[in-house]
């Protein structure tokens, strides 16, 4: 399955980069967030591949969900897809956007890949092992290395969102003592923890499950954790929430060791 995820993420990344270089129109969804041809095409490629190989596994994907297309039942396992995480970065011609594909089993992100097309870095995670791979221009993986979280450094390296920093986040960071801030976009925040570049990622702002699942899978495979503010593991497949939309996450804190 991980090999399938990698192949599909690379194909989606190739399509995204073609559009990135050619340029495209930017539309607004109902929630006013941006969407482009790159989002839609990448999602189509990923869903076609997953549904051909795993026809019985439900898929929850960002653009389909925005259009109201969702499986009636998730079962014990389902896929979560964000075809272009960091669309705002993409539109601004930034580099921190990713392709995210994850398998959720019993509410836990079990397998995931995060591909950053601009840097050619592919992160992957499965139970017991996380890796970072280097991808060349022809979409071939030319090198792999195992990654694992690190013990907390001093000062703590705190990952903060580049586009969604909140006052609550700043208040929390102030309680941590000496820190250095690392700003980066998309699900790469989880990957910095997983590859021992940073220590903690507090998110006091809105996210959806497709934003976090793949990066969370990589982080957990590398020995890290993602918890809600009460210390419980962040879970996936949240529907019929009393105070929020389906698949919306609560605030959370992701950590290395």
Closest CA to 82 of 229, 207, 224, 250: 207
Interstrand relation of 156-161 and 179-184 (parallel, antiparallel or unpaired): parallel
For 56, other C-beta atoms within 10 Å of its C-beta total 7
Query: Any residues with CB less than 8 A from the CB of 142 and at least 6 apart, and which?
Result: 134, 135, 136
pLDDT value at position 23?
87
pLDDT value at position 29?
83
The b/e string for 208-220 (b: 16+ C-beta within 10 A; e otherwise) is bbbbbbbbbbbbb
Mean pLDDT over the full length of the chain: 94
Q: Token digits for 183? A: 């700003």
pLDDT value at position 87?
87
Cut 0.75: pTM above it:
yes
DSSP track, 146-185: E----PPPSSEEEEEESS---HHHHHHHHTT-SEEEEEE-
> How far is C-alpha 18 from the geometric centre of its chain's CA atoms?
21
* pLDDT tens-digit map of 64-114: 999 999 999 999 999 999 999 988 888 888 899 999 999 999 999 999 999
Give the C-alpha separation, 16 to 94, whole Å: 13
Residue-wise pLDDT tens for the chain (257 aa)?
A: 999 999 999 999 999 999 998 988 888 887 778 888 999 999 999 999 999 999 999 999 999 999 999 999 999 999 999 999 988 888 888 899 999 999 999 999 999 999 999 999 999 999 999 999 999 988 899 999 999 999 999 999 999 876 667 889 999 999 999 999 998 889 999 999 999 999 999 999 999 999 999 999 999 999 999 999 999 999 999 999 999 999 999 999 999 99
């Amino acid at each position: 399955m991980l090999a399938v995820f990698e192949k599909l993420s690379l194909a989606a990344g190739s399509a995204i980069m073609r559009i990135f270089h050619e340029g495209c129109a930017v539309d607004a969804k109902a929630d006013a967030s941006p969407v482009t041809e790159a989002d839609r095409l990448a999602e189509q490629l990923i869903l076609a591949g997953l549904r051909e190989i795993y026809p019985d596994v439900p898929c929850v994907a960002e653009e389909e969900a925005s259009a109201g297309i969702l499986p009636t039942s998730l079962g014990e396992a389902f896929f979560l897809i964000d075809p272009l995480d960091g669309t705002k970065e993409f539109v601004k011609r930034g580099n921190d956007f990713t392709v995210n594909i994850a398998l959720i089993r019993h509410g836990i992100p079990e397998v995931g890949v995060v591909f950053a097309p601009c840097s050619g870095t592919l992160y992957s995670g499965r139970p017991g092992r996380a890796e970072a791979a280097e991808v060349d221009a022809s979409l071939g993986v030319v090198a792999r290395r195992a990654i694992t979280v690190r013990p907390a450094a001093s000062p703590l390296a705190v990952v903060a969102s580049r586009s969604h920093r909140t006052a609550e986040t700043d208040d929390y960071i102030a309680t941590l003592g000496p820190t250095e801030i690392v700003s980066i976009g998309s699900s790469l925040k989880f990957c910095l923890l997983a590859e021992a570049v940073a220590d903690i990622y507090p998110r006091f702002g809105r996210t959806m499950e497709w934003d976090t699942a793949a990066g969370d899978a990589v982080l957990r495979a590398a020995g890290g954790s993602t918890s809600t503010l009460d210390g419980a593991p962040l879970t996936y497949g949240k529907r019929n929430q009393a105070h929020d939309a389906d698949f919306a996450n609560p605030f959370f804190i992701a950590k290395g060791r």
